[in-house]
Amino acid sequence: MYCSAIIDSASSYLVRFFTGFSLASFVSTQFWMSSMFSPPKVGLANGVAGGWGNLGGGAVQLLMPLVFEAIRKIGSTPFTAWRVAFFIPGLMQTCSAIAVLAFGQDMPDGNYRKLHKSGDMHKDSFGNVFRHAVTSYRGWILALTYGYCFGVELAVDNIIAQYFFDRFGVKLSTAGFIAASFGMANIVSRPGGGLLSDWLSSRFGMRGRLWGLWVVQTIGGVLCVVLGVVDYSFGASVAVMILFSFFVQAACGLTFGIVPFVSRRSLGLISGMTGGGGSVGAVLTQLIFFHGSKYRTETGIKYMGLMTIACTLPITLIYFPQWGGMFVGPRPGATAEDYYNREWTAEERDKGYNTGSVRFAENSVREEWRSGSQSKHTVPVGSSPANV
C-alpha cells in the first residue's frame, strides 16, 4: 500500500499486484470465525466479521475523496495528494495486522504452536486437506453461488458511481455518496444474513439455512433486474439499489452460515474456495457485462441479475446425508459424526486426530430437520449434546 505512491513504470505495477494478496485476509477471517464460534452462532459471527470488513469498501468511497481534498487544500498538488492519501488506509491496515498478532488467539483452546507442542492438536498434511476440499461438490456449488452475491457486490461497487453520474447527470460527489451507501449497508445487511441463517437453523435445521440462502439471493437477483429496468427514474433507481444491496449482501452472510458445515478437516480451503469464487465472479461479471461498449450499463445490470438468479439454482443440489437438502430429507441412520469422520482414516481416528470434528458434530445437533413447532431442543441440566 505504501509503495503504491512511488509507481512510475510498468514493472512497478507488480507492487499493486502483491498488494492484492492482502485481500486474502478475508478468507483467513472467515476461517478464524468458523473455528472460534459454535454452530448456533457461526452465521452471525461470520456475518459481522465479513460485513464490517466489506463496510470498509463503502467507507473508502465516502472518505478518501474528502482526505484527498484536505491534503490538496494544505498545499499539495493533486498528483501528490492522492498518493499521500493512501498512506492512511495503509497505516490502518498495518495497525490491524499488529493487533491481530498481539491480541488474537488461533483457536478457543489456544494457539496452534502451543497445541501442536502439547500434542492436543494434530498437524495435518496439506495433501489430505487439499484432496478433501477439491472433491467436495458442496464447496464448489457455494463458490459458484458466492460468485453471484459477493461477486455481484464487487462489480456494482466498480460501476455504480459512474452509472449514476452518466445516466442521471448528478454531481460526482453525489454519485460517490450513493455508491458509498451501497457498500456501507454491510454494517447491517451481511450480519443480518448470518443472523437469519442461525435463526432458520434453530427453527428448521440445515434445510432452513439452504432455503434462506436460495430465497434471499434469488430476490437479490430479481432486484438487480429491476434496477436495470427503472433507469428512467433517479429516485426509483436509488430506492431499488438500496433494497438490492441489503439482499445481495445478506446472501453473503447466509453463504458463510453454511460453509463451516461442509468440511471440518478442510475448512480453511473450503472457505478459500468460496471466497475465491466471489472474486472470480466479480471479474467475469465485469468482463462480460461492463467491459467495453457491448452493453449499456443498465442492460448489463439487468443481465447480471438474470445471471444471479440462474447461478443460485445449484443450491437445490446441496445435500447433507445427516440433515437433508432443500427438497429431500435426511438419510435414515446418518449422523453428523459419521459425515465428518469419513474425512479421516480408521488409523487417524484411533489416534484421536478427529477429536475436533467429533466435537463440532456434537454441537451441530440443531441442524437436524424439524418443523417450526419442534424448533427447540430440550437439553437436561448438566448434559451436553453428545449425551442427549
What domains are there in the chain, each with its CATH number?
Answer: 22-98+141-325 (1.20.1250.20)
Exposure class string for 41-52: b at 16+ Cβ within 10 A, else e: ebbbbbbbbbbe
pLDDT band at 373 (very low <50, low <70, confident <90, very high): very low
Of residues 297 and 120, the one with the higher pLDDT is: 297
DSSP classification of residue 36:
H
Segment 48-64, tens digit of pLDDT = 888 787 777 667 767 88
Mean pLDDT over residues 209-216, rounded? 98
- Say if residue 376's pLDDT is above 60: no
Mean pLDDT, the chain, integer? 85
**pLDDT score of 2:** 60
Exposure class string for 228-238: b at 16+ Cβ within 10 A, else e: bbbbeeeeebb
First and final CA of the chain: distance in angstroms?
A: 52
pLDDT band at 378 (very low <50, low <70, confident <90, very high): very low
**pLDDT score of 183:** 83
Which three cell numbers mark 116? 501442536
60, 189 Cβ separation under 8 angstroms: no
Nearest to 190 by CA among 24, 25, 55: 55
pTM for the predicted model, two decimal places: 0.84
Of residues 98 and 9, the one with the higher pLDDT is: 98
308, 148 Cβ separation under 8 angstroms: yes
Taking CA atoms, 376 is separated from 176, 204, 206, 212, 365, in Å, by 46, 10, 14, 19, 11
- Say if residue 382's pLDDT is above 50: no
Segment 75-125, tens digit of pLDDT = 888 888 888 888 888 888 889 889 988 888 887 777 777 777 776 677 778
Mean pLDDT over residues 221-225, rounded? 97
49, 33 Cβ separation under 8 angstroms: yes
